[in-house]
Amino acid sequence: MKASSTRSVLVTGASSGIGAATADLLARSGFRVAGTSRDPDRAAQRLPHIEWVSMDVRDDASVSEGVKRAIDRIGGLDALVCNAGIGIFGSVEEVPLHAAREQFETNWFGTLRTLRAALPELRRARDARVAIVGSLAGRAPIPFQAHYSASKAALDALAQALHNELFGTGVSVSLIEPGDIHTAFNDATDFELVRNSSYGERAARCREVIERSLESAPGPEIVARTILRALTTRNPRVRYAVGPDARLVSFARRWLPERVGLRLIRRHFRV
């Protein structure tokens, strides 16, 4: 990529968690950083050294205007980090369809909107980078988080297809695949969407495992460092598994029979 004094990057969902850690690290590493938030004034109080733009990834016009405003403020676009996302908890049977649609509207369509708005500028750069933040759940789906897992699996497919579409154009695409990460995102996950679930103790045990695992998980800085590497290394990987659990699952998915993998997931989440 270009010299640090001229690199510019847009990070979506940058007001907290992985997005905030990434925006902060990139700014301290010499990037000109624009971060998106639905409340940019509040975000600016936490990270005043970031150029903040108001953007809602669920809205076409908001994304189009937000990307244009970011490009104007940071003087172009050499890199994009698609990070904005939400999570919901509940069974396939019981989660309302409107909530399932909202999951995809933010996680998948929000990423798609951002890419469509940013790619023309990225393709004009001679050496541009795209980092799409997926999840370990996209390759090892979590019981009672099927909707979240499916949205991240869709990002996996999107990243791989986009990598090939852009191959040879000067734009490199990497999927960032974190395992358990302790962030405010965990607190924002809607665990109360389905009250009095008919799945009773099965769902309760699974939720308990998720919450306990997240409490002891590493912070978002580990993901931010991986994103920095993907944006700056000479030959970025197509996929970066982040954290010991993500690397373990990547190994297991490669070598274990699928039935064995599913049994290990059931055992881990106590379902």
Question: Strand, helix or coil at 75?
Answer: coil
What value does the mean pLDDT take over residues 223-241? 97
Provide the percentage of residues in the chain whose pLDDT is more than 70.
94
Q: What pLDDT does 188 receive?
A: 57
What value does the mean pLDDT take over residues 173-190? 81
Per the structure, the count of domains in the chain is 1
Q: For position 139, which CATH number holds?
A: 3.40.50.720
pLDDT, tens only, 39-57: 999 999 999 999 999 999 9
**C-alpha dihedral sign at 169, 7, 240, 115:** negative
- Residue 254's contacts (CB-CB under 8 Å, 6 or more residues apart) are none
More confident residue, 9 or 6: 9
What value does the mean pLDDT take over residues 95-113? 97
Q: Are 252 and 261 in contact (CB under 8 A)?
A: yes
Q: What pLDDT does 193 receive?
A: 66
Radius of gyration of the chain from its Cα atoms, rounded to whole angstroms: 18
Q: Tell me if residue 148 is catalytic.
A: yes
What value does the mean pLDDT take over residues 148-177? 98
Element (H, E) at 10: strand 8-11
pTM recorded for the entire structure: 0.93
The catalytic residue among 31, 52, 108, 148 is 148
What does 176-208 look like in DSSP terms, one character per residue? EEE-S--SHHHHHSBS-SS-S-TTHHHHHHHHH
Q: Are 94 and 86 in contact (CB under 8 A)?
A: no
* 189 has pLDDT over 70: no
Q: Domain range for residue 222?
A: 4-269
What value does the mean pLDDT take over residues 175-203? 80
Q: What pLDDT does 138 receive?
A: 94
Backbone angles phi, psi at 88, to 5 degrees: -130, 155
Within 13 Å and on the Cβ side, how many CA atoms surround 35? 32
Residues making up the chain, counted from first to last: 271
